[in-house]
Protein backbone atom coordinates (compact mmCIF):
# COMPACT_ATOMS: atom_id res chain seq x y z
CA UNK A 1 0.00 0.00 0.00
CA UNK A 2 2.75 2.40 0.94
CA UNK A 3 4.72 1.83 -2.25
CA UNK A 4 1.63 2.22 -4.42
CA UNK A 5 0.74 5.42 -2.54
CA UNK A 6 4.21 6.82 -3.26
CA UNK A 7 3.71 6.05 -6.97
CA UNK A 8 0.42 7.95 -6.90
CA UNK A 9 1.92 10.90 -5.04
CA UNK A 10 4.71 11.29 -7.62
CA UNK A 11 2.12 12.73 -10.03
CA UNK A 12 -0.87 13.68 -7.93
CA UNK A 13 -2.55 15.68 -10.71
CA UNK A 14 -2.14 12.88 -13.27
CA UNK A 15 -3.33 10.27 -10.78
CA UNK A 16 -6.43 12.28 -9.92
CA UNK A 17 -7.33 12.87 -13.57
CA UNK A 18 -7.14 9.13 -14.22
CA UNK A 19 -8.81 8.16 -10.93
CA UNK A 20 -11.93 10.29 -11.48
CA UNK A 21 -12.74 8.32 -14.64
CA UNK A 22 -13.80 5.29 -12.60
CA UNK A 23 -13.90 5.93 -8.85
CA UNK A 24 -17.49 6.56 -7.80
CA UNK A 25 -16.67 8.95 -4.94
CA UNK A 26 -13.98 10.83 -6.87
CA UNK A 27 -16.49 11.40 -9.69
CA UNK A 28 -18.70 13.26 -7.22
CA UNK A 29 -15.89 14.98 -5.33
CA UNK A 30 -12.60 15.58 -7.14
CA UNK A 31 -11.15 16.54 -3.75
CA UNK A 32 -11.39 12.86 -2.74
CA UNK A 33 -9.15 12.00 -5.70
CA UNK A 34 -6.46 14.27 -4.27
CA UNK A 35 -6.93 12.95 -0.71
CA UNK A 36 -6.94 9.27 -1.64
CA UNK A 37 -3.15 8.75 -2.07
CA UNK A 38 -2.49 10.44 1.27
CA UNK A 39 -5.10 8.23 2.97
CA UNK A 40 -3.56 5.15 1.38
CA UNK A 41 -0.07 6.22 2.50
CA UNK A 42 -1.39 6.88 6.01
CA UNK A 43 -2.98 3.43 6.18
CA UNK A 44 0.08 1.64 4.82
CA UNK A 45 2.63 3.47 6.95
CA UNK A 46 0.31 3.30 9.96
CA UNK A 47 0.13 -0.47 9.67
CA UNK A 48 3.91 -0.74 9.41
CA UNK A 49 4.38 1.64 12.34
CA UNK A 50 1.92 -0.23 14.54
CA UNK A 51 -0.52 2.66 14.93
CA UNK A 52 -3.76 1.55 16.60
CA UNK A 53 -6.12 -0.45 14.43
CA UNK A 54 -8.93 1.84 15.58
CA UNK A 55 -7.20 4.66 13.69
CA UNK A 56 -5.74 2.88 10.66
CA UNK A 57 -8.34 0.14 10.11
CA UNK A 58 -11.33 2.35 9.23
CA UNK A 59 -9.27 4.39 6.75
CA UNK A 60 -8.08 1.25 4.95
CA UNK A 61 -11.54 -0.30 5.05
CA UNK A 62 -13.22 2.85 3.70
CA UNK A 63 -10.88 3.53 0.78
CA UNK A 64 -10.66 -0.17 -0.07
CA UNK A 65 -14.42 -0.66 -0.12
CA UNK A 66 -15.11 2.43 -2.25
CA UNK A 67 -12.31 1.41 -4.59
CA UNK A 68 -13.42 -2.22 -4.94
CA UNK A 69 -17.02 -1.26 -5.67
CA UNK A 70 -15.86 1.37 -8.18
CA UNK A 71 -13.51 -0.98 -10.04
CA UNK A 72 -16.04 -3.82 -10.07
CA UNK A 73 -18.71 -1.51 -11.49
CA UNK A 74 -16.47 0.06 -14.13
CA UNK A 75 -14.87 -3.17 -15.35
CA UNK A 76 -17.37 -5.95 -14.79
CA UNK A 77 -20.75 -4.16 -14.90
CA UNK A 78 -20.19 -1.25 -17.30
CA UNK A 79 -17.50 -3.18 -19.29
CA UNK A 80 -15.37 -0.05 -19.62
CA UNK A 81 -11.76 -0.35 -20.78
CA UNK A 82 -9.82 2.16 -18.71
CA UNK A 83 -6.26 2.60 -17.58
CA UNK A 84 -5.62 1.90 -13.92
CA UNK A 85 -4.47 4.78 -11.74
CA UNK A 86 -3.09 2.24 -9.24
CA UNK A 87 0.58 3.06 -9.93
CA UNK A 88 0.10 6.73 -10.74
CA UNK A 89 -1.50 8.77 -13.46
CA UNK A 90 0.75 7.78 -16.35
CA UNK A 91 0.39 4.00 -16.38
CA UNK A 92 -0.48 1.54 -19.11
CA UNK A 93 -1.91 -1.02 -16.70
CA UNK A 94 -5.49 -1.86 -17.66
CA UNK A 95 -8.08 -1.36 -14.94
CA UNK A 96 -9.22 -4.68 -13.60
CA UNK A 97 -7.57 -7.46 -11.66
CA UNK A 98 -4.63 -5.40 -10.32
CA UNK A 99 -6.84 -2.60 -9.00
CA UNK A 100 -9.43 -4.96 -7.62
CA UNK A 101 -6.71 -6.97 -5.86
CA UNK A 102 -5.23 -3.80 -4.36
CA UNK A 103 -8.62 -2.76 -3.02
CA UNK A 104 -9.48 -6.20 -1.67
CA UNK A 105 -6.13 -6.23 0.13
CA UNK A 106 -6.98 -2.86 1.72
CA UNK A 107 -10.35 -4.22 2.85
CA UNK A 108 -8.71 -7.30 4.32
CA UNK A 109 -6.00 -5.26 6.02
CA UNK A 110 -8.59 -2.88 7.48
CA UNK A 111 -10.66 -5.75 8.85
CA UNK A 112 -7.52 -7.39 10.26
CA UNK A 113 -6.40 -4.16 11.96
CA UNK A 114 -9.84 -3.67 13.55
CA UNK A 115 -9.91 -7.32 14.62
CA UNK A 116 -6.50 -6.94 16.25
CA UNK A 117 -7.53 -3.70 17.96
CA UNK A 118 -10.57 -5.35 19.50
CA UNK A 119 -8.28 -8.00 20.89
CA UNK A 120 -10.30 -10.98 19.73
Please list the pLDDT of the chain residue by residue as tens digits (120 residues).
899 899 899 989 999 998 999 999 999 999 999 999 999 999 999 999 989 999 999 999 999 999 999 999 999 999 988 877 776 666 677 778 888 998 999 999 999 999 999 875
Contacts of 22 (CB under 8 A, 6+ apart): 70, 71, 74, 80, 82, 85, 95
Neighbours of 13 (CB within 10 A): 10
Contacts of 112 (CB under 8 A, 6+ apart): 53, 57
3-state secondary structure of 81: coil
3-state secondary structure of 96: coil
**Contact present, 84 and 63 (Cβ < 8 Å):** no
pTM above 0.85, yes or no: yes
Amino acid sequence: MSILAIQKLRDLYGFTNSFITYDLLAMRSVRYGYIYPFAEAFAGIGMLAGISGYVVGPVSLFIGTIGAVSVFKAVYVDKRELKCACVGGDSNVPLGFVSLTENLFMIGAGIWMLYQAIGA
